[in-house]
């Protein structure tokens, strides 16, 4: 592996076609594993709890440990990518993820499994923090929209396939195989990536250890606090954790304000198009996650569908994203991305509003076309928005932009989940009674995101 060029070095505009395809395959394989492992383990928690002789509440740490590790280290690893080169951080993250997957599979007890999941989360953060930055160097500028559209497609398919793939594996094998399947995929991605991923410029910035620590504390406390909101018995602790996150976050922001290349890229937030894209992203992912969590409760408890029927009925949404995301990426190379993003979120808002207005006894077709409209809207939004995030930042700050993009996705998803938990707890009628308020709030979030996206037409 070469050291990579220093910042300011003139680089080719993307890779040759054959190398471009192979490099993207390496990116896609690693991203698929990282996204899948955020959801695939959920379905195995009861089995893990039984086999390791722990309570269901303790088994949840297997999921939370991964989520916290990813969210808390995205920005530090994005900054490290700018110093060491995105290729190095990506391959190191992929290698750690693969080794940690083996450690998860052979873990004899819960503490060991949780520790291995933390390591796996660190590896996933190395992958997620710079994946979009690498795409900017894999694809020529004229095809950036297509590249980020392909990434959006991978994320959408992996997110949708997580629970189904997990259930399929558990139907024929024990839970350790949820992690063992990562080994051949990870090794293949390492083999292809080490040969094809491009070297990228490296800056002379020093790694900010204090900033990385404050960042980890801020996001770690925030995610733990949001998760605890789901349990009414923990609301006091949740508020204390969120309050502590805000206090530490204030110190973190103050420590970053006067830095020329901050770990928390406040300088990028001064770019109107970038800042508006971040707002749109948080709103969009909050909106989608709220609907994703609330609707299965309605299908299962309100309509009396089985778990399998509920999963099948939810399928039109991710399938529509998978269709729309690559197409919108190509459109973003020809038309204003801000306009496409705004249109997408308006469609998402309309689809969620239509779901809120479902008749008392809807047919499957009534539900399916509304889910499809929501998925098409989200897919139309995601690729153009990602293109603006990655191209509005200077090329040598692409790592920071990529880290912020992934952070916005994870924070938005966490806020959407917290919204559902809070409204479930406040509803006298339980999940069924909370469905309407949740969907109307999710639709409003999508509309706010559309407004932010539309403003980029004149402020980009």
Which of 168-182, 217-231, 294-308 is predicted most confidently?
A: 168-182
Provide the pLDDT for residue 3. 45
- Mark which of 207, 238, 273 sits at the end of a domain: 207
Query: For position 459, what pLDDT does the model report?
Result: 42
Query: Does the pLDDT at position 2 exceed 50?
Result: no
Clarify whether residues 58 and 200 are in a common domain: yes
Tens digits of per-residue pLDDT, 373-413? 999 999 899 888 888 887 887 777 777 777 787 778 878 87
Question: Are residues 162 and 80 part of one domain?
Answer: yes
129 and 21 housed in the same domain: yes
Which one of 55-69, 250-264, 329-343, 389-403 scores highest in mean pLDDT?
329-343
CA-to-CA distance for 42 and 63, rounded, in angstroms? Answer: 7
Q: Please check the confidence at residue 201 and state whether its pLDDT lies above 80.
A: no
What average pLDDT does range 442-454 have in this prediction?
93
What per-residue confidence (pLDDT) applies to 205? 66
Report the pLDDT value the prediction gives residue 78, as an integer from 0 to 100.
82
Average pLDDT over every residue of 201-211: 73
- Name the residue range of residue 254's domain: 209-258
**Is residue 357 scored above 90 in pLDDT?**
yes
One domain for residues 191 and 226: no
In this prediction, residue 371 carries a pLDDT of 93
Residues 7 and 34 in one domain: yes
pLDDT band with cut points at 50, 70 and 90 for residue 346: very high
Residues 236 and 91 in one domain: no
Closest CA to 448 of 346, 370, 321: 346
Q: Identify whether residues 338 and 388 lie together within a single domain.
A: yes
| Contact of 281 with 385, CB cutoff 8 Å | yes
Same structural domain for residues 161 and 281?
A: no
Over range 122-128, report the average pLDDT.
Answer: 90
With left for phi above 0 and alpha for psi between -120 and 50, is residue 361 left, alpha or beta? beta
pLDDT for residue 430 = 64
109 & 121 share domain: yes
The number of domains in the chain is 3
Of the residues 238, 258, 278, the one at which a domain ends: 258
Token pair belonging to 274: 């970038």
- Please report how many Cα atoms fall inside a 13 Å half-sphere around the Cα of residue 210, on the Cβ side: 9
Do 285 and 338 share a domain, yes or no? yes
Residues 243 and 307 in one domain: no
Q: Are residues 203 and 213 in the same domain?
A: no
pTM of the model: 0.75
127-141, 178-192, 361-375: least confidently modelled range: 127-141
User: What are the C-alpha distances in Å from 129 to residues 45, 159, 350, 400?
Assistant: 27, 17, 32, 8
pLDDT tens by residue, 170-193: 778 888 998 998 999 999 999 998
CA atoms within 13 A on the CB side of 443: 20
> Looking at residue 345, which CATH number applies to its domain?
1.20.1250.20
CA distance between the termini of the chain = 37
On average, the pLDDT of the chain sits at: 83
The rounded distance, in Å, linking the Cα atoms of 417 and 54 is 25
Residue 376's pLDDT is 94
Listed residues 207, 228, 247: the one ending a domain:
207
């Amino acid at each position: 592996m070469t050291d990579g060029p220093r910042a300011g070095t003139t680089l080719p505009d993307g890779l040759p076609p054959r190398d471009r395809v192979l490099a993207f395959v390496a990116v896609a394989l690693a991203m698929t594993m990282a996204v899948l492992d955020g959801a695939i383990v959920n379905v195995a928690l009861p089995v893990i709890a039984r086999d390791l002789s722990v309570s269901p509440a303790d088994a949840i740490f297997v999921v939370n440990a991964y989520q916290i590790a990813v969210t808390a280290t995205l920005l530090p690893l994005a900054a490290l990518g700018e110093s060491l080169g995105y290729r190095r951080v990506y391959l190191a993250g992929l290698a750690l993820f693969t080794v940690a997957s083996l450690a998860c599979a052979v873990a004899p007890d819960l503490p060991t499994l949780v520790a291995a999941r933390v390591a796996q989360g660190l590896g996933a953060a190395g992958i997620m923090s710079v994946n979009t930055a690498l795409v900017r160097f894999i694809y020529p500028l004229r095809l950036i929209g297509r590249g980020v559209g392909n990434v959006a497609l991978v994320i959408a398919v992996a997110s949708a396939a997580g629970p189904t793939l997990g259930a399929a594996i558990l139907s024929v094998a024990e839970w350790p195989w949820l992690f063992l399947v990562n080994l051949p995929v990870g090794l293949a991605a390492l083999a292809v990536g080490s040969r094809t991923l491009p070297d990228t410029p490296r800056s002379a910035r020093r790694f900010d250890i204090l900033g990385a620590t404050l960042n980890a504390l801020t996001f770690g406390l925030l995610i733990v606090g949001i998760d605890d909101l789901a349990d009414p018995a923990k609301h006091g602790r949740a508020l204390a954790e969120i309050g502590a996150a805000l206090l530490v976050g204030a110190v973190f922001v103050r420590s970053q304000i006067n830095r020329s290349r901050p770990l928390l890229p406040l300088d990028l937030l001064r770019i109107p198009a970038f800042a508006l894209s971040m707002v749109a992203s948080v709103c969009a992912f909050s909106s989608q996650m709220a609907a994703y969590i609330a609707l299965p409760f309605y299908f299962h408890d309100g309509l009396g569908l089985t778990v399998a029927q509920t999963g099948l009925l939810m399928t039109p949404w991710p399938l529509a994203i998978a269709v729309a995301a690559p197409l919108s990426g190509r459109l973003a190379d020809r038309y204003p991305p801000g306009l496409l993003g705004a249109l997408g979120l308006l469609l998402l808002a309309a689809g969620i509003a239509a779901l809120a207005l479902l008749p008392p006894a809807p047919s499957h077709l009534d539900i399916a076309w509304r889910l499809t409209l929501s998925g098409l809207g989200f897919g139309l939004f995601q690729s153009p928005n990602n293109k603006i995030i990655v191209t509005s930042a200077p090329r040598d700050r692409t790592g920071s932009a990529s880290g912020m993009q992934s952070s916005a996705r994870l924070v938005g998803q966490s806020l959407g989940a917290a919204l559902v938990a809070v409204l479930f707890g406040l509803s006298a009628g339980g999940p069924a009674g909370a469905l309407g308020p949740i969907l109307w709030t999710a639709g409003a979030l999508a509309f706010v995101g559309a407004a932010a996206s539309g403003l980029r037409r004149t402020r980009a």
